[in-house]
A and B are shown apart, each in its own frame.
Chain A
Amino acid sequence: VSGVRPHPPGPPALVAALALVASCAPAGPDLAVREAWSRPTIAREGEARTAPAAPGVAYLTIVNRGRAGDRLLSVRSEVCSHPEIHETRIAGDRASMVHVEEGIEIPPRGRVELRPGGYHLMLIGLARHLREGETFEIVLEFERSGPIAVTADVRRP
Chain B
Amino acid sequence: VSRTGTLRAAVLLLAAAAVAPGCGSSSTGFRGLPYPDPAPPADFALSDQHGAPFRLSDHRGKIVLLFFGFVHCPDVCPTTLATWSKVREQLGQDASRVAFVFVTVDPERDTGAALREHLAVFGADFVGLTGTLEELDPVYESFGIFHEKMRFGASANAYIVDHSTRVLLIDAQGRLRLSYGFETSSGNLLHDLRLLLEE
Contacts and interface: CB of A to CB of B under 8 A. Distances in A.
Contact of B113 (A40, A45, A84, A116): A45
Contacts of B76: 88, 90, 95, 116-117
Interface residues of A, number: 29
Interface stretch (A4-12, A51-59, A63-71): A51-59
With a 10 A CB-CB cut-off, give which of B113, B150, B157, B182 has the most chain A CB atoms: B182
Contacts, number: 79
Interface in B65-86: 71-72, 74-76, 78-79, 82
Given A45-B117, A54-B71, A54-B72, A93 B162 contact: no
B174 to A, nearest CB: 23
A88 B71 CA distance: 16
A2 interface: no
A92 to B, nearest CB: 9
Nearest to A96: B162
B151 to A, nearest CB: 11
B75 A156 contact: no
B165 A94 contact: yes
A55 B74 contact: yes
Interface in A12-52: 39-40, 42-45
B119 to A, nearest CB: 9
A109 interface: no
Given A93-B146, A116-B79, A117-B182, A44 B113 contact: yes
B188 interface: no
A39 B77 CA distance: 12
A122 B74 contact: yes
A45 B182 CA distance: 30
Contacts of A3: none
Nearest to A82: B153
A44 to B, nearest CB: 5
Nearest to A121: B74
B72 A55 contact: yes
With a 10 A CB-CB cut-off, give which of B75, B78, B113 has the most chain A CB atoms: B75
B74 A117 contact: no
Nearest to A132: B121
Given A90-B165, A93-B181, A117-B182, A124 B153 contact: yes
B152 to A, nearest CB: 7
Contacts of B78: 39, 57, 116
A97 interface: yes
B183 interface: yes
Interface string A109-153: 000000011001010100000000000000000000000000000
With a 10 A CB-CB cut-off, give which of B74, B146, B164 has the most chain A CB atoms: B74
A74 to B, nearest CB: 16
A120 B165 contact: no
Nearest to A59: B75
B160 interface: yes
Contacts of A97: 74-75, 150, 160, 162
Given A94-B165, A99-B152, 16 more contacts: A39-B78, A42-B117, A42-B118, A44-B113, A57-B75, A88-B76, A90-B182, A95-B75, A95-B76, A95-B182, A120-B74, A120-B75, A122-B152, A124-B152, A124-B158, A157-B79
